[in-house]
Amino acid sequence: MESVSLLIRNAKVFNSYLKQFIPADVSVKDGRFYYIDRKMDTDFQAEAVLDAGGQYMIPGLVDIHMHIESSMMTPEPFGDCVAAYGVTTIVSEPHEMANVKGTRGVLEMISATGSAPIDIFYGIPSSVPSTSERLETTGGIIDCSAMKQLLREEDVVCVGEIMNYRQIIQENDLEITKFLRYLRGARPGYVIEGHCPSLLDLDLARFLYLGINGDHTEHTLEEVKQRIENGMFFEIQDKMLKPEVLEYICRNQLYEYCGFVTDDTMADVLYEKGQLNYVVQKAMESGFPVEMAIYCATYTPARRMHLYDRGDIAPGKLADFALLADPAVLAPSCVYKNGVQIFSQKSRQEFPVSYRFPEDFYRSVCLPPVTLKDFAVPADTDQEEVTVRVIEIHPDRTQTTEKLVTMPVRDHLLDWRGSGCLLAMVLERHGKNGNIGYGFITGACLNTGTVATTYFHDHHNLFVAGDNPEDMLFAVKQIQEMQGGFLTVRNGKVLAKLALPVCGILSGKGVRDTALGLKAVRESLEELGYHHSNPVMSLGTIGLPVSPAIKLTDKGLVDVKQGEVVPLIVS
């Protein structure tokens, strides 16, 4: 009698080629599927037998566009967490870590993956900094030479999202442009991920012409149509689960050309709701056919990343799978990776974090001395009042708009209190130049109190905003003492905090501790008046100079469309 390592009996097996469930027994040998026995009459000498009891067996979920750093956890606990949701493969793009520590940061993330129970592949950060040194100061820089170095890493499978999408379609000498030219000759067909909201027509063609053929960003229906019609793989994240988009895909049977991704999942959402399973579940509930949803969360993303050894249950493929009581409810009873159980609902547990980063990764918040005088905003004018550019935050998106506000001037300083705005500052914290960028925020943000963080996309300098300079100075000193994180302050007291001591962006703890700390910060922000659908993400992207329309970095206010630093005072 032939021997196998694992025999799964009495399962309803998802067939990716027929896109339907078929009753079968499934055998596993040396970590790979061996025989899908539809007749259910073959005897094997099995080291272990798993009676599926009629449950539905699906391939392990594959998330090909995400950022581990968005969870504020290191790779090991992140892998432990998502395994429970049926995710067995991810492709992470570590440009957040690269912005702090450059190539070393990426290599350390790869090293930190070692004991994770799932497969974690990486994309080459292609936009570090996201714009240029003229607009922001980062701790690390990924140039063409660094990209070539990372290309040689075994666990690197693609070029990560190219974010400076308007610059790259013009005549330029960007480092990523040099790398794309190199790839065209040395690695034709290599997977290149894009980030190109709003590009259409000829501009979109220029982008595609460079070999960038995947996009995950938020779009109108017309933008989605043009991407798919032009051969772009469309990656559907949570905010793209729009009825008109899903209806267009289903009506035209476009399942081969799209897949579900998460992009960013914060620790509290990860802990309470899930990861890729949560996005796919929402798609199903919105009318996306169950079988097609599973197909677009397993088979198509694996093919997109040229991971041809997974994403389906067939002979020779990696034995990555989950068992479900109901295929429309992605809550696995158990999950297997390479034929070995990595999660069971009966014995769910959180494992301790074992990986230790180099010591300097825990000492990354390097500020010159900061005093109360630094919180006075200069106004080099003899006028009694001036018009000031203000960042207006909206409750349903991370994109901002510019608002012009009149403020009085006292002794050549802006007298901003009473203007309906909060003072906002970005302090360069990588130990390079000690820059301070000044701005103001209004709209769906804090009404009172102070918030400070080093989790500030993508340069991750120290951001502080508030209504009281004394509290703001106190918050900056607290963040420096914590060596990074989030905290809220009012009347000289810390209301909530989450320490992120690994490069100022990762906690180094498990999902529960990280999630509860972040949840406390989120709730505190809401209590202080930050009325946004995702206040933490909104806050963290106030400094992202590739996201419209006006943002704040250590260099000052950035007009995103112009790609220029603009004066705080208009007149």
| Confidence bin at 546 (pLDDT 50/70/90) | confident
Which residue in 451, 485, 445 sits closest to 465, CA to CA? 451
Residue 253's CB is within 10 A of a number of other CB atoms, namely: 9
Give the residue-averaged pLDDT of 273-302: 98
Give the residue-averaged pLDDT of 333-341: 98
3-state SS class at 86: coil
Residues in the chain: 571
| Confidence bin at 509 (pLDDT 50/70/90) | very high
User: Quick check: 571 pLDDT over 80?
Assistant: no
pLDDT at 497: 97
| Burial degree of 41 (CB within 10 A; 0-12, 13-18, 19+) | exposed
Percent of the chain with pLDDT over 90: 92
pLDDT at 98: 98
Over the stretch 38-56, which tens digit does the pLDDT of each residue have? 999 999 999 999 999 999 9
pLDDT at 487: 97
Over the stretch 94-144, which tens digit does the pLDDT of each residue have? 999 999 999 999 999 999 998 899 999 999 999 899 888 999 999 999 999
State which H helix or E strand residue 120 sits in: strand 119-124
pLDDT at 455: 98
Integer-rounded Cα Rg, in Å, for the chain is 25
DSSP H helical segments within 13-160, as ranges? Answer: 75-83, 95-112, 144-151
User: Quick check: 547 pLDDT over 90?
Assistant: no
First to last CA, the chain: 87
Task: Name the pTM for this structure.
Answer: 0.94
Helices and strands: H and E segment counts in the chain? 15, 28
Between vectors from CA 434 to CA 361 and to CA 436, what angle results, nearest 5°? 115
Average pLDDT of the chain?
A: 96
Q: Is the dihedral of CA 320, 324, 328, 331 positive or negative?
A: negative
pLDDT at 519: 97
pLDDT at 1: 79
pLDDT at 347: 74
Over the stretch 457-497, which tens digit does the pLDDT of each residue have? 999 999 999 999 999 999 999 999 999 999 999 999 999 99
pLDDT at 312: 98
DSSP H helical segments within 16-89, as ranges? Answer: 75-83
Eight-state DSSP code of residue 569 = B
Question: Whole-angstrom Cα distance, residue 348 to residue 457?
Answer: 33
Q: Where in the chain is the domain with CATH 3.20.20.140?
A: 62-312
Q: Which amino acid is at 411?
A: D
pLDDT at 197: 87
- Which long-range contacts (C-beta less than 8 Å, at least 24 apart) are formed by 107-114? 107/153, 108/357, 108/358, 108/361, 109/68, 109/74, 109/75, 110/153, 110/155, 110/156, 111/355, 112/74, 112/75, 112/76, 112/355, 112/357, 113/75, 113/76, 113/79, 113/155, 114/76, 114/355
According to CATH, the superfamily of the domain at 62-312 is Metal-dependent hydrolases (3.20.20.140)
pLDDT at 396: 87
User: Quick check: 66 pLDDT over 80?
Assistant: yes
Over the stretch 191-237, which tens digit does the pLDDT of each residue have? 999 999 889 999 999 999 999 999 999 899 999 999 999 999 999 99
Beta bridge partners of 392: 401, 442
Percent of the chain with pLDDT over 70: 100
